[in-house]
Chains A and B, each alone.
Chain A
């Protein structure tokens, strides 16, 4: 008998993922699921699914789940956590959901220092609805609603969410990671686990932004998409800890 080095997490259900081939949602789901299992909180975890490709995340995380309206996941999570403080409550939101329609809800959940965990998946596009421009779409990036490439003159520059939320006094822990290589996944997992540990210890609002891909929306192969994260997204969205009230950042 061999020693199992890696197998599917018990934090995931057996439902086949509905995401496109090579979509890193699945990979990021694994990091979340593994963290919940390793921290032994799966049976008191509640995921709040958002609207976008991960609208169906409630089918995949093997824990209680609530499906929220577009952008409102942090408000729904607030409601759950306030009346059920023993639950480990996390939102799983994309950039259209969190950085556009749900900006007020995410800012004020951080502002109140809600003791919740936010997994923010940034792939710079609205995937579910067919690849429209998001607040995080890169300049010159072509999408179905920026067919000539995003222009700064009319749409501004891409929103840097982690930098922005880190400015909120009551935010506890904000880190941007990426899911495009295995070494980056190791760091991403560490960040996600920490964001849950913070909640377990009552520290307050933690958000991990995970740079991700959308090979269909980007019109690339899954492998090309990984390089796009490295070469185009990471220079504009630098990885790192933007806020950690538990540690002094040098």
Chain B
């Protein structure tokens, strides 16, 4: 009889090794599926382009995009900046707006979710601001802040702020009443319960909100760079459009997608570190 199937025979060390092995295998399978998914998509795309099922003027092939990426590493034409400069410019704007959204949105959401008086005071204002499309702030932003980094970061901020606030708000409101009562019984003050029970409880939803926010931030980047710019990925896309360069537009889109994915992965790593205790 296979002793791996008999719990009374398998030692703890073997069981742990078995579980770890299963986890590794699942992770490997998932990684391979992801790679196959991406590669399959690229292959279909390349096939459609190569066989001219889709006109190359309207959709460049992945190989041409990769080639253009290599060229744009050193060649600033046609938009006037190499890809590195464009990436840095966009990252500065996106992360400035995104960072501001976390710094303001998360604490605001937590306080609104925990303190009912503050919620009553802030919520009507937030509900008015919430449905306003970030792009509609552009004319006012120009008047208020000019056309520099601050103005563009503010547009991104409006896009990233809402999910940060809503998720923090919802997360802290879902704090388990039993935990709160236990803390109260132990004599904890309201602020202590907020700090030591409420905030840790809200972390899962808070991180989910932050991940949505980074997506929104990147999505608004093109609009923010339409405001005014001389470099950036959004600007590169606009110039691609201006000069009828579909390949440049697609390169901009792909780079935005890749950077967005990398940032999301980084947030996942931070989330795993911070929320490791929840997964035990």
Same assembly: no
